[in-house]
Structure 1
Amino acid sequence: MRPIRLPEPPSPTMGVPEIFESGANSVIRRAVVIGNGFPGSENQSIGLIRALGLSDNLSFYRVTRPRGGINEWLHWLPVSLHKKLDYVLRQLYNYWRLLVAARGKKLAALPSENGVSVGLSTILEADVKQIVNMARETYEKDGPLLVVASGRDTISIASSVKRLASENVFVVQIQHPRSNLNRFDLVITPRHDYYPLTPQAQEQVPRFLRKWITPCEPPDGHVVLTMGALHQIDFGALRVAASMWHDEFAPLPKPLLVVNIGGPTSCCRYGTDLAKQLTSNLLSVLDSCGSVRISFSNRTPAKVSNIVIKKIGNNPKVYIWNGEEPNPHVGHLAWADAFVITADSVSMISEACSTGKPVYIMGSERCTWKLSDFHKSLREQGVVRPFAGSEDISESWSYPPLNDTAEAARRVHKALAERGLRLRP
């Protein structure tokens, strides 16, 4: 048998070999993102991975729910139960169709997603066993695996990966999981997720319901609190976007006002009344604008977008993006002199506030519960102002840009170090 040759001791003039530095299996070089199909959630995970320098060695998995028909009313169910119920309903429906067809009657097809039936067999699903096996089988060669998940539907997948491969993975859950935090190595969540613990929230909830409102306990040591949502926007991304969109935006008359319109949510309800107020306010500030560019999100109701297009779309200063690619969103962030954003979207507001440019919020008075607390915190720090229609858009003001993603990345480094791990892209 040949003798085992140990590596030569490190020379004082040479770099320290990794095995002497901290152990061959203490360096994280790769990451897995578990998404839920919603851009606002997945963008947070990708933004964190980007800030950690692991974008080039990233695997992406997605938890998807059945969609269409009755499924739109079943999103409150755990995703695994939802899928099983969807499968049973489809089997019953198919059996019923056979009975109806046998009687010579025609029956419409069950709603589907993108023209394809959305039964179990057609969904590419994040698989716990697959991720766990990859983490275990490649551990000796590639070291530990960083797993980042965001959104309610990813919680069971991420926590199962942590439970089954705790020595091979470091699991970060973004957004409060509404469950035992010890199921994850680190939880990154906005401060307003803890709004239920405030005296104001306690007054809004009947006493017999308070113990059922999560979270029930204040954040512990492995919870990272942010002001807003994580994202991919930093000064490097803005510089690249400024170059890419130079030819389109540089010639526009200044100041450039960018208007981002989302859609109503459970904590921020509105309709055509807000659309009418928004267009009225925009018409009032047009004299102080050189150009106005308006974008709608996928959540914007047609009745809202139609009013905006009808009332202001024909103004020569106004351009409304028609939804066709390429999406100018990052270009807007780079070139805008000021923003007007509807109050429903934490993600859009967080991205705009990372630029340090004036951000005006439309409709924050309509927000309730934790979203109201989010807007209050931003106003108190001088990061945003309400959009009243009396603003002079040419008047600039600034604030320390929100830097949540970079701070979250720093806390990930710290948590890894406490476990004897470190990142090496």
Structure 2
Amino acid sequence: MRPIRLPEPPIGSSGLPDICSTIRRAVVIGNGFAGAENQCFGLVRALGLSHRQSLYRVTRPRGRINEWLHWLPVSLHIKLDHVIRRICGDSRFQIMVKGKKLMPLSVENTGLSDILEADARKIATLARETLEKNGPLLVVASGRDTISVASWIKRLAPENVFVVQIQHPRSHLNRFDLVITPCHDYYPLTPQAQKQIPWFLRRWITPCEPPGRHVVLTVGALHQADSTALQSAASAWHDELAPLPKPLLVVNIGGPTSHCQYGADLAKQLTSLLPKVLWSCGSLRISFSRRTPLGGIHDSAKIFIRYLYGHSLFVEAVINRYLTS
């Protein structure tokens, strides 16, 4: 059984920016989406502040008409929801039927009831009052709904916070100390894009200016997969993966988006692509994410396993917690 080998973490200097010598705590402002929040956690982890982080979340009103109002700024959406409730009464907008249970629409069923609402004034006050004891506060935010909160914190406590906005805010970059965004956000400024965009639309497509000194461009999204995390995962999965014939092919099944709905049709499409690579594989592992719909999991698993049955391959479908709960 050959052990899984990974590159060792850098030896000597910690590799952390100079900011870590001054900032010893962090606040993450999330929007409830794992993709955006994990980027914040990845940055905080890389800075060595995971043990001194707090999570706040920007939450929109949910349910009924609110599902059509996500294009509004968060603050305006909340005020409009309050007006609607005052006019129409809470009883018509505050509950929804889920099976036989009635649930408040304002409560997101995530199991994270201890996460505080992102209030810019309270966070700014916290930064000012604890500056002498704990030093300046690092504020890391990601996602469109967090832009106004993060920029407002910077405006209220400019000398007490260092605000990092992940993903391009599209305007007023000077409201943040640092903006981290992927290179493709600046594709509209490239010669290729300029040829594709009609001249009368160019002024409306952001960003309009090249990245400044306080903009950091990345190739992909930030994440938490550093050397320590990889070593830990390799140790946890070693006994299960090491005996498998190599090379190992992993098929990750994610969740639906507005442009891609998961179901039997997609499973059949993915299955039709497998023969092109199966000849080069020693083992195959199918993994479903938490976002994969329950029906989609059943359909995909049945179709994949039915197709692969009879092949001389080790096949294991990893079904997520929805099937075991």
TM beyond 0.5: yes
How do residues 346-365 of structure 1 correspond to structure 2 at under 5 angstroms? none
How do residues 53-64 of structure 1 correspond to structure 2 at under 5 angstroms? 53-64=48-59
Per-residue CA deviation, residues 56-109 of structure 1 (Å, 9 max, x unaligned), is 111111111222333222211111112222233334443785xxxxxxxxx995
Distance in 2 (CA, whole Å) between partners of 1:142 and 1:81 is: 34
Distance in 1 (CA, whole Å) between partners of 2:261 and 2:193 is: 22
Query: What does residue 82 of structure 2 align with?
Result: 87
Alpha-carbon distance change, 301 to 195 in structure 1, aligned in 2, over 3 angstroms: farther
Q: Deviation of residue 318 (structure 1)? A: 2.6
Pairing partner for 1:289 from 281, 295, 298? 281
Query: What does residue 202 of structure 1 align with?
Result: 194
Pairing partner for 2:104 from 106, 117, 127? 117
Alpha-carbon distance change, 115 to 191 in structure 1, aligned in 2, over 3 angstroms: farther
Q: Deviation of residue 300 (structure 1)? A: 4.3
Distance in 2 (CA, whole Å) between partners of 1:129 and 1:111 is: 35
Aligned-pair RMSD on alpha carbons?
3.2
1:245 is paired with a residue of what secondary structure? Answer: helix
Distance in 1 (CA, whole Å) between partners of 2:122 and 2:95 is: 34
Query: What does residue 180 of structure 2 align with?
Result: 188
How do residues 91-102 of structure 1 correspond to structure 2 at under 5 angstroms? 91-94=86-89
| Cα contact 2:248–2:281 (8 A) shared by 1 | yes
Query: What does residue 9 of structure 2 align with?
Result: none
How do residues 250-399 of structure 1 correspond to structure 2 at under 5 angstroms? 250-263=242-255, 265=257, 269=260, 274-300=266-292, 305=297, 307-314=299-306, 315=308, 317-324=314-321
Per-residue CA deviation, residues 249-295 of structure 1 (Å, 9 max, x unaligned), is 233332221112334546x6576665433211214433432322223
2:104 is paired with a residue of what secondary structure? Answer: coil
- Give the letter for the 1:63 counterpart: V
Normalised TM-score (structure 2): 0.79
- Give the letter for the 1:90 counterpart: R
Distance in 2 (CA, whole Å) between partners of 1:298 and 1:205 is: 38
Q: Which runs of 5+ in 1 are unaligned?
A: 1-21, 98-106, 328-425
Distance in 1 (CA, whole Å) between partners of 2:53 and 2:91 is: 44
Alpha-carbon distance change, 117 to 321 in structure 1, aligned in 2, over 3 angstroms: same
Pairing partner for 2:42 from 40, 47, 65? 47
Alpha-carbon distance change, 246 to 120 in structure 1, aligned in 2, over 3 angstroms: closer
After the TM superposition, which segments of 4 or more aligned residues of structure 1 sit over 6 Å from their partners?
A: 120-123
Q: Deviation of residue 117 (structure 1)? A: 1.2
Q: Deviation of residue 224 (structure 1)? A: 0.2
| Cα contact 1:149–1:155 (8 A) shared by 2 | yes
Per-residue CA deviation, residues 4-54 of structure 1 (Å, 9 max, x unaligned), is xxxxxxxxxxxxxxxxxx9xxx82111111111111011001001111111
1:163 is paired with a residue of what secondary structure? Answer: helix
Query: What does residue 162 of structure 1 align with?
Result: 154
Query: What does residue 231 of structure 1 align with?
Result: 223
Distance in 2 (CA, whole Å) between partners of 1:93 and 1:150 is: 34
| Cα contact 1:86–1:119 (8 A) shared by 2 | no
| Cα contact 2:285–2:316 (8 A) shared by 1 | yes
Q: Which runs of 5+ in 2 are unaligned?
A: 1-17
Percent of aligned pairs sharing the same letter: 66
Compare CA radii of gyration and give the structure with the larger one: 1
**Aligned pairs, how many?**
292
Distance in 2 (CA, whole Å) between partners of 1:96 and 1:44 is: 38
Distance in 2 (CA, whole Å) between partners of 1:61 and 1:96 is: 28
Alpha-carbon distance change, 120 to 68 in structure 1, aligned in 2, over 3 angstroms: closer
- Give the letter for the 2:319 counterpart: N
Query: What does residue 420 of structure 1 align with?
Result: none
Distance in 1 (CA, whole Å) between partners of 2:176 and 2:84 is: 34
2:274 is paired with a residue of what secondary structure? Answer: helix
